[in-house]
Structure 1
Amino acid sequence: MTDAFGRKIDYLRLSITDRCNLRCRYCMPEEVPFVPHENILRYEEMVRVCAAAARLGVDTIKVTGGEPLARKGCAGLVRALKEVPGIRQVTLTTNGVLLADQLPELLAAGLDAVNISIDTLDREGYRAVTGRDDLPRALAGLEAALAAGVRTKINVVPLAGTGREGLLALAALAQDRPLDVRFIELMPVGHGADLAPFGQAELLAALRERWPGLASVEERRGNGPARYWRAPGMKGALGFISAVSHEFCGDCNRFRLTSEGFLKLCLCYGGGVDLRPLLRGGASDGELEETIRRAVWNKPAHHSFGRGPTEEGRLMSQIGG
């Protein structure tokens, strides 16, 4: 499946809930309202959309939230997605707090990889960012993933005011462990628009000072747009996903399905198509496929972050990470 600009679209980010057990200040502070349960897609509806997307060429599904492990039955969904013809890989993005308990079932279901969001290794700093004192549980999830041998990445959102030593401590996890640490530029969406990022150039300079031999690597280390760096002897790698300051729209291969069934083509814009009425209104598989195909064809050429107001009015927790 391609869009009007010839980009091959083969990656779907699937948000299965807008709920989360944390309250990260750039995503969903305490006052964020939840979507009514009846408006959230049932798992069988999500699988039906993913099957239609797979028939159009999508082969990779990223399960996100909110916090996906906060919704019961996530492992069952992973198993169902892995059984869809054409789906090659199903991965998960989680805050890790519930991961240690659920990981065995997820791996038995066929989960291929896990991304764990941890913005600091300082317990008080973690509480300040997330609103919860759950760093030990998140780290337990990380240790469980590493012990199980599943492909693991850590996602970090560096914020202005974050101490560089704290970010270097996170980066150091890739020195002796087989994991990648990815620094994801703050997106000016929802509450993130009210905060300032820790810039890539400043962080990269700090990383090079700590690891003088740090050099960029061309290898592809997953399904995303991260650009990776590695120092001699480093078991993992350090990645940057800087969508605003280092736009990669020309290579974008993804679209998103929110937990409410809205198909989003670009994080920046509010446009897309609501699939829930089709799913609950008796539409055929052919109609569903054609709706997805037409929507993807109209995927925007690029975002407008930094060049004008963001048109998306949803919060990140409502869109999916």
Structure 2
Amino acid sequence: MLEDSFGRQFHYLRLSITEACNFRCQYCLPDGYQGPSSDSFLSVNEIQTLLSAFAQLGTSKVRITGGEPTLRRDFLDVLHLTAQTPGIERIAMTTHGARMSAHAKQWKDAGLHQVNVSIDSLDPRQFAAITGQDKLKEVLAGLDAAANAGLDVKVNTVLLNDFSDARLHRFLAWLKEMPVTLRFIELMETGDLPQFFNQQHQSGGPIKQTLLAQGWQPIVKRKDAGPAQEFFHPDYAGKIGLIMPYSKDFCKSCNRLRVAANGKLHLCLFSEHGIDMRHLLADGDVAGLKQFLIECLGQKHETHYLHDGNTGATTHLAMLGG
């Protein structure tokens, strides 16, 4: 089992397979994608080496992220490969959801268990303003297709300062009948957008207090769960999660490591730099990679230092899929 010097064990790998995305979200890629070309990202063979090493070291859950992972032409091959890796028990994916209505069943059949979809507003005009794409109708159709295919569906919403009570009530009304988990995520500062963060950051604490006052109750986390605090209510079909990276002891339960699309290991979303391991991946050296990962865990810090304004090497969230 991968374990750091603070006794935290890592069951969960977040694997980015591309930095590219065709949405232009205000808090991520407001000017559109302008990064490296697809030939600089991990190949399927390199991904196979990576997954084998992590699985043999106790990783049981893999989240495939981007950018937008379905932009890769060989996305289905990556999904099949992940599902066939011994030791990997759960596969999730983060997506903008615009392609999901046509492909959800195919992804489920290939081994996918869970999708996380970004929906920052249920108002079509506001959704288009935030994402740069007028595709709310297609995304909502994708949610229905995913649920009908038997996928576990989670919806991500970034908290911004213009997040009004009316917007919250609209989401709560939606959850009355919609069997998904809606996660409110605090905006995190990145290197490219410090001014946007200062203008728009909002704490999730007041929403948590509102939920508790309305009878929402905490859910016990799975060992491979992400950082969300999740809540259920007997009168609602859906659940609610809160991801609050600026809250006390947020990093204490860290159980995940990240690999960027360029093959670099990131011990934290906001680490100072990625650690290059492309040479081991290119050589198919599973044993060498396992030893490398064990040694790298000794460098992992106790916290992300976001409170100090340290955003590390993360210039935008598409680099690592959040």
The answer as to whether partners of 2:23 and 2:132 remain within 8 angstroms in 1 is yes
Give 1:242 shift.
Answer: 0.4
Match of 1:182 in 2: 183
The answer as to whether partners of 2:49 and 2:284 remain within 8 angstroms in 1 is no
Match of 1:87 in 2: 88
**1:302 and 2:303 matched:** yes
Change (3 A) 1:105 1:217: closer
Match of 1:225 in 2: 227
**1:26 and 2:27 matched:** yes
Aligned length: 318
Which runs of structure 2 are paired with 1:265-304 in the superposition (5 Å)?
265-280=267-282, 282=283, 284-304=285-305
Q: What is the TM-score of this pair, normalised by structure 1?
A: 0.92
Amino acid at match of 1:310: T
Match of 1:70 in 2: 71
Give 1:143 shift.
Answer: 1.1
The answer as to whether partners of 2:95 and 2:118 remain within 8 angstroms in 1 is yes
d(CA) in 2 for partners of 1:245, 1:147: 35
Match of 1:253 in 2: 255
From 169, 186, 207, the equivalent of 1:203 is 207
d(CA) in 1 for partners of 2:183, 2:224: 12
The answer as to whether partners of 2:270 and 2:314 remain within 8 angstroms in 1 is no
Mean CA deviation greater in 221-230 or 73-82: 221-230
| 5+ residue gaps, structure 2 | none
Which runs of structure 2 are paired with 1:103-252 in the superposition (5 Å)?
103-193=104-194, 194-195=196-197, 196-207=200-211, 212-218=214-220, 220=222, 223-252=225-254
Amino acid at match of 2:259: L
Match of 1:264 in 2: 266
**1:318 and 2:322 matched:** no
Q: CA RMSD in A?
A: 2.0
Change (3 A) 1:314 1:153: same
The answer as to whether partners of 1:27 and 1:190 remain within 8 angstroms in 2 is no
Which runs of structure 2 are paired with 1:54-69 in the superposition (5 Å)?
54-69=55-70
d(CA) in 1 for partners of 2:114, 2:187: 23
Change (3 A) 1:274 1:314: farther
Amino acid at match of 2:143: L
Amino acid at match of 1:257: V
What per-residue deviation string (whole Å, max 9, x for no partner) do you get for residues 216-265 of structure 1?
A: 33354972121122233222211101011344211101010111101000
The answer as to whether partners of 2:24 and 2:32 remain within 8 angstroms in 1 is no
What per-residue deviation string (whole Å, max 9, x for no partner) do you get for residues 5-36 of structure 1?
A: 11111110011111112110111122542213
What per-residue deviation string (whole Å, max 9, x for no partner) do you get for residues 250-281 of structure 1?
A: 1101010111101000112223411223323x
d(CA) in 2 for partners of 1:222, 1:140: 29
Mean CA deviation greater in 258-267 or 197-206: 197-206
Change (3 A) 1:37 1:213: closer
d(CA) in 1 for partners of 2:116, 2:320: 18
Amino acid at match of 1:101: A
Q: What is the TM-score of this pair, normalised by structure 2?
A: 0.92
| 5+ residue gaps, structure 1 | none
d(CA) in 2 for partners of 1:85, 1:271: 30
The answer as to whether partners of 1:28 and 1:191 remain within 8 angstroms in 2 is no
d(CA) in 1 for partners of 2:25, 2:7: 36
